[in-house]
């Protein structure tokens, strides 16, 4: 896809990929213009349906109303805001979600100069590109958008630091051509400039940061994407409705066919997930993402589902996954001893949790980058083995037990007892099972529910023994922000457990300087293996799928979703017609059934690969 892949895909801001010319595939070609070799679109491979048509409305829900209409600055770091801007605004380039190749966007051509210690990125603006105001986009708009991001007065320190520390000020060469020089070699820098930076009109964005914060808190600067947000469609505390633009400059491009189909996308505020489920069943929402395994197993067979009026699909895909589990504070007792960490891991009865609480819906985590090629295939498959756990505790010196059956260190007399503080009451049932299993081998894991914000402050300041947390995945790993030794002794960063390894540090630096994709994978495999062997986390589980229920009034692709994103990919791929709407209306009126499709969908072979991998055995 072309512009709509960037503007309407919620995963774009996570993409971290750069291709050298030797890596280009069929979707890209090179052309000579004014003595410079530029890359542009070649034989585009579509992934939308040729049957898709435009029209109709999609209704979904958001858990809270947004606090601002800005995409940066205070209170703007929210998924809902990102989803909106990914449909109303565009960056310079997009990426094909199947091939992961760069695609034209606001820039029709691009060129990369590679030097020993830096790169220079060149972009040629598509002469057809226009903002929703009708004004043409030029190189000065790109420069102004960069200047906006490096302005400290917009109070977006992460973005300001990212762009100020990694790039020189872009150079405008002509109305349509701009270049930017990087200050270092890092393969992500093409992404940040070309794929993540939204382009705004220079005459509106070139204002002081404090003025921007006040003037545009509840007013959106125009963008160039396929949707627009009209002021009257922002209903405070109720809903936000996006409207598809008939005058979108890329509407008729061959790479836009079958995408951004809905005339309206309405985001309805429903703060309670249970209420959202009831609203879906009542027909007030068009689809519902099922988070709880219990609901999927026990509550999705209601009468409307049996009659085919609603459908359910469990769709396996390659959405970026990350890790979850119990994080050990390796700086302090008792988890400064690797043997104790390993004992906890071997006695972490995930099998029991899967069977008793999760309806066997999830998969074991055996990597910090699971579900794809970044995972080290040689990592041990740690499975429940209390006998091995007890032997490890014995070797760590916990050979005696007190009157309560808790292990005591033979040398220090210290009982193996600590408290897990946690914030969500919904997780009590999980922690209770884990604690009961630990007590059987002599580990006392007390449970204490506390205020979430207070908990996160203590965890950030490293005032914890054990902490339970899940992390959000990104398409291309960035281990530096979570595992570098420089972070291990510092508060307020992602290296919660205090992991430090000079060997991993060196590999991470090599990874950032490596532009070959296969070599990147090999390096991350090594990093994953080295981290895994130290057991900084008792890894939990993950679900490499999306579970959705939806009303049977939509057309879908055979794959239903995008390969590398969550259920919001359907916002861009699905469609409806008056005939589809009428078919459902007639079935309900006559109390007749519609066809029910297959519940399990594995278009990319993810489930098949996982099942094959599970035959390798466990330890």
- Residues 97-111 have pLDDT tens digits of 888 889 999 999 999
Task: Tell me how far apart the alpha carbons of residues 587 and 592 are, in angstroms, rounded to a whole number.
Answer: 5
Residue 11, pLDDT > 50, answer no
The backbone torsions φ and ψ at residue 83, rounded to the nearest 5 degrees and listed phi first, read: -60, -40
Report whether pLDDT(65) > 70.
Answer: yes
pLDDT digits (tens, 9 = 90+) for 604-619: 998 888 777 655 545 5
**Residue 12: which pLDDT band, with cuts at 50, 70 and 90?**
very low
Structure confidence at residue 254 as a pLDDT band (50, 70, 90): confident
The reported pLDDT for the residue numbered 199 is 98
Residue-level pLDDT at 18 = 34
Question: How big is the chain by its Cα radius of gyration, in Å?
Answer: 26
Quote the distance between the C-alpha of residue 107 and its chain's center.
25
CA distance 10 to 83: 5
Q: What is the mean pLDDT of the chain?
A: 91
> Residue 275: what pLDDT?
95
Q: Is the pLDDT of residue 443 over 50?
A: yes
Q: Is residue 187 helix, strand or coil?
A: coil
Mean pLDDT of 581-604: 97
For position 613, what pLDDT does the model report? 63
Q: Could you give the 3-state DSSP secondary structure of residue 19?
A: coil
The values of phi and psi at residue 95, to 5°, are -135, 135
pLDDT beyond 80 at 589: yes
6/195 Cα distance (integer angstroms):
8
Examine residue 334 and say whether the peptide bond preceding it is cis (omega within 30 degrees of 0).
yes
Q: Residue 530 — φ and ψ, nearest 5°?
A: -70, -40
Task: Give 157's contacts (C-beta < 8 A, 6+ positions apart).
Answer: none
- The shares of helix, strand and coil residues in the chain, as percent rounded to the nearest 5, are 35, 20, 45
| Alpha helix stretches (DSSP H) within 179-329 | 189-190, 202-205, 209-215, 273-281, 293-298, 303-306
Are 514 and 499 in contact, with CB atoms under 8 Å apart?
A: no
Phi/psi at 605 (5° precision): 70, 20
Encode burial over 159-197: b for 16+ CB neighbours within 10 A, e otherwise.
bbebbbebbeebebeeebbbbbebeebbbbbbbbbbbbb
Q: What number is the average pLDDT over the span 473-492?
A: 88
Q: How far is CA 42 from CA 108, 121, 388, 452, in A?
A: 11, 20, 57, 50
pLDDT digits (tens, 9 = 90+) for 504-557: 999 999 999 998 989 999 999 999 999 999 999 999 999 999 999 999 999 999
Kindly state the percentage of the chain with pLDDT values over 90.
77
Structure tokens at 461: 């300041």
Q: What is the rounded CA–CA span in Å between residue 585 and residue 306?
A: 16
Backbone phi, psi, residue 450, to 5°: -135, 170
What tens digit of pLDDT does each residue of 154-168 get? 998 878 888 999 999
CB 408 within 8 A of CB 415: yes
With residue 66 as reference, give the H or E element that holds it: none
Residues 238-261, buried b or exposed e (16+ Cβ, 10 A)?
Answer: ebbbbbbbeebbbbebebbbbbbb
- pLDDT of residue 431 exceeding 80, the answer is yes
DSSP strand pairing (310-316 vs 600-601): parallel
Question: With contact defined as beta carbons under 8 Å apart, do 123 and 179 qualify?
Answer: yes
- Residue 575 DSSP SS3: strand
Q: Does residue 48 have a pLDDT over 60? A: yes
Q: Are strands 537-539 and 324-328 parallel, antiparallel or unpaired?
A: antiparallel
DSSP category for residue 536 = -
Residue 425: which residues within 8 A CB-CB, separation 6 or more? 449
What's the CA gap between 176 and 98, in Å, rounded? Answer: 29
**What average pLDDT score do residues 234-243 get?**
97
8 A C-beta contact, residue 240 and residue 84 = yes
Rounded Cα–Cα distance for residues 76 and 116 (Å): 37
What pLDDT does 619 receive? Answer: 58
Residue closest to 416 by CA, chosen among 481, 466, 360, 482? 466
Q: In which residue are the tokens 């017609």 written?
A: 577
**Strands 93-95 and 287-289, sheet pairing:** unpaired
> How many angstroms separate the CA atoms of 94 and 7, rounded?
8
Residue 157 has a pLDDT of: 84
Least confident range of 138-152, 197-211, 442-456 = 442-456
Average pLDDT over residues 433-439: 98
b/e for 289-301, b at 16 or more Cβ within 10 A?
A: bbebbebbeeebe
Per-residue pLDDT tens for 560-583?
999 988 999 999 999 999 999 999
Task: Say if residues 300 and 528 touch (Cβ distance below 8 Å).
Answer: no
Average pLDDT of span 23-48: 81
Taking residues 449-474, what's their average pLDDT? 90
User: What would the mean pLDDT of 50-73 be, rounded to a whole number?
Assistant: 94
List, in order of start, the domains of the chain with CATH numbers: 3-244 (3.40.190.10), 270-318+544-612 (3.40.190.10), 324-543 (3.10.105.10)
pLDDT confidence band for 452 (50 / 70 / 90):
confident
Residues near 184 by beta carbon (within 8 Å), at least 6 away in sequence: 117, 118, 166
Q: How much is the pLDDT for 21?
A: 34
Task: Say if residue 13's pLDDT is above 60.
Answer: no
Average pLDDT of span 350-360: 94
Largest CA distance in the chain: 84
Give pairs for 611-619: CB < 8 Å, separation 24+: 616/381, 617/381, 618/381, 618/382, 618/383, 619/380, 619/381, 619/382, 619/383, 619/385
Say what the pLDDT of residue 158 is.
77
For residue 347, what pLDDT is reported? 98
Report CA torsion sign: 489, 491, 496, 501. Answer: negative
Give the CA count within 13 Å in the CB-facing half-sphere of 531: 33
Q: In 3D, which of 395, 410, 419 has the Cα closest to residue 342?
A: 395
């Amino acid at each position: 896809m072309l512009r709509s892949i960037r503007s309407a895909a919620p995963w774009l801001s996570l993409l971290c990929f750069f291709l050298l010319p030797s890596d280009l595939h069929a979707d890209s070609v090179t052309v000579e213009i004014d003595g410079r070799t530029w890359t542009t679109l070649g034989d585009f491979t579509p992934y939308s349906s040729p049957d898709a048509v435009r029209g109709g409305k999609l209704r979904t829900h958001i858990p809270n109303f947004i606090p601002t209409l800005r995409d940066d600055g205070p209170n703007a770091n929210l998924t809902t805001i990102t989803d909106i801007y990914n449909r109303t605004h565009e960056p310079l380039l997009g990426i094909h979600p199947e091939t992961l190749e760069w695609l034209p966007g606001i820039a029709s051509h691009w060129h990369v100069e590679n030097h020993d210690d830096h790169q220079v990125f060149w972009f040629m603006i598509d002469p057809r590109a226009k903002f929703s105001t009708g004004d043409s986009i030029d190189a000065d708009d790109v420069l102004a958008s960069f200047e906006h991001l490096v302005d400290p007065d917009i109070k977006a320190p992460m973005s300001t630091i990212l762009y100020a520390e990694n790039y020189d000020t872009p150079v405008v060469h002509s109305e349509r051509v701009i270049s930017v020089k990087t200050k270092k070699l890092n393969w992500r820098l093409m992404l940040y400039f070309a794929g993540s930076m939204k382009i705004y009109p220079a005459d509106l964005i070139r204002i002081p940061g404090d003025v921007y914060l006040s003037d545009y808190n509840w007013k959106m600067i125009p963008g160039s994407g396929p949707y627009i947000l009209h002021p009257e469609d922002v209903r405070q505390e109720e809903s936000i409705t996006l409207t598809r633009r008939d005058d979108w400059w890329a509407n008729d491009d061959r790479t836009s066919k079958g995408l951004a189909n809905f005339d309206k996308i309405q985001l309805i505020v429903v703060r309670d997930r249970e209420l959202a489920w009831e609203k879906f069943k009542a027909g007030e929402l068009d689809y519902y993402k099922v988070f709880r395994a219990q609901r999927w197993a026990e509550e999705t067979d209601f009468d409307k589902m049996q009659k085919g009026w609603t459908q359910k699909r469990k769709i396996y895909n390659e959405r970026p996954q990350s890790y979850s589990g119990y994080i050990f504070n390796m700086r302090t007792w008792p988890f400064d001893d690797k043997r104790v960490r390993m004992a906890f891991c071997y006695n972490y009865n995930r099998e029991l949790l899967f069977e008793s609480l999760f309806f066997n819906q999830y998969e074991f985590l055996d990597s910090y980058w699971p579900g794809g090629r970044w995972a080290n295939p040689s990592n041990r498959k740690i499975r429940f083995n209390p006998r091995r756990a007890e032997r490890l505790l014995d070797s760590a010196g916990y050979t005696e037990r007190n009157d309560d059956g808790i292990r005591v260190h033979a040398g220090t007399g210290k009982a193996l007892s600590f408290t897990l503080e946690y914030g969500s009451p919904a997780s009590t049932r999980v922690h209770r099972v884990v604690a009961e299993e630990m007590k059987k081998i002599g580990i006392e894991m007390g449970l204490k529910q506390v205020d979430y914000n207070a908990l996160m402050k203590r965890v950030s300041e490293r005032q914890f023994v054990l902490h339970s947390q899940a992390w959000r995945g990104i398409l291309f790993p960035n281990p530096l922000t979570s595992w570098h030794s420089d972070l291990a002794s510092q508060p307020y960063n992602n290296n919660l457990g205090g992991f430090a390894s000079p060997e991993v540090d060196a590999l991470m630096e090599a990874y950032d300087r490596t532009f070959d994709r296969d070599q990147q994978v090999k390096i991350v495999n090594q990093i994953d293996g080295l981290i895994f062997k130290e057991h900084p986390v008792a890894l939990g589980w993950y679900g490499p799928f999306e579970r959705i229920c939806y009303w049977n009034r939509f057309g879908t692709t055979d794959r239903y979703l995008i390969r590398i994103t969550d259920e919001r990919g359907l916002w861009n791929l699905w469609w409806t017609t008056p005939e589809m709407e009428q078919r459902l209306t007639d079935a309900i009126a006559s109390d007749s059934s519609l066809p029910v499709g297959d519940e399990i969908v594995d278009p990319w072979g993810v489930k098949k690969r996982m099942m094959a991998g599970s035959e390798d055995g466990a330890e």
